[in-house]
Amino acid sequence: MSPSMPPNSQKRKIIIFSDFDGTIFMQDTGHILFDSFGCGAEERNKLDEQIKTGERSFRDVSEEMWGSLNVPFDDGFVVMEKSLEIDPGFREFHQYCIENGFPFNVISAGLKPVLRRVLDTFLGEKEASSIDIVANDAIIDGSSWKPVWRHDNELGHDKALSVNEARARAQLECLPDEMPLIVFIGDGVSDLAAAREADVLFARRGLRLEEYCLEHKIAYTPFDTFADIKREIEAISREDQHKTGGVGKPVRYNPRANMWRRISSKEAVPTLMAAATPSKEEKMFLWPETFTELKPQATIQEAEEPVTTAA
């Protein structure tokens, strides 16, 4: 294992955002609950199709799914705990972030009480307390579940807006010659709006987000486990000023987000960038069922190489 950099030794402030379902955990918390205590897998698939065709919004369908639940929180969690599997490299990666002072944030379209309970259970409350969860809230009254949406739009939670809010706050904490580096980790197309606002994007190999990045020539770095991400972040923190990655590979920077690195003073930084609005095609994939299924390896191998853009 490579030695960790001393805290605060890198010039750039690195802030990390990660999706939850299908990224930190291999399964989807909502799917487990809906299939076991709510509308069921068959009806959920029908509702997913309504999102994909554009018939209904993600928020509208999600509210129906969560509203279909008829289970107390603790009983539902028992099933989730038995069904969930954490990424094998996540604990070590998160400890690395703590040791090096890299803020780690979960950004999710799910419900904050569910995600917090899962993290507390799998990581321990002390370690999990360092993770900020940016997600929708919920009112859980007995066996009744109702989402409290973070944003008043058809997504319920606009991940791009949340990332840009964090970037603006981080910029205010930086010295005039410093720029925050925003890292985003995801697995599906519902992550795409937030991913476009990040400086460095990691997409889980073989899933829908990587496929989408290949199809649309979006710069990204593939990963199999968080151990891969740890190696890349170590390289970025060591060699960020040269803008090169580890093991002879260039880090794949997002040219749209690179505009932030060209700003030389706080006064030039807007307090809030306009959030990207997902296209109709992106909205087709806003529910995880579509992109958490592994794609045939041949599909990935035959696709063209991912775009690499020097910062």
Active site members = 19, 21
Q: Are strands 132-141 and 144-148 parallel, antiparallel or unpaired?
A: antiparallel
118 HSE (CA, 13 A, CB side): 28
The residue to which tokens 């991400």 are assigned: 229
- Which of 233, 239, 185, 230 has its CA nearest to residue 209? 185
Give the Cα separation of 59 and 57 in Å (integer): 5
- CA dist., res. 234 & res. 93, Å (int): 10
DSSP 262-303: G--SGGGS-SSPPPPPPPHHHHTT-SGGGTSSPPPHHHHHHS
Contact at 8 Å (CB) between 188 and 288? yes
Give the span between the Cα atoms of 183 and 234, in whole angstroms.
Answer: 13
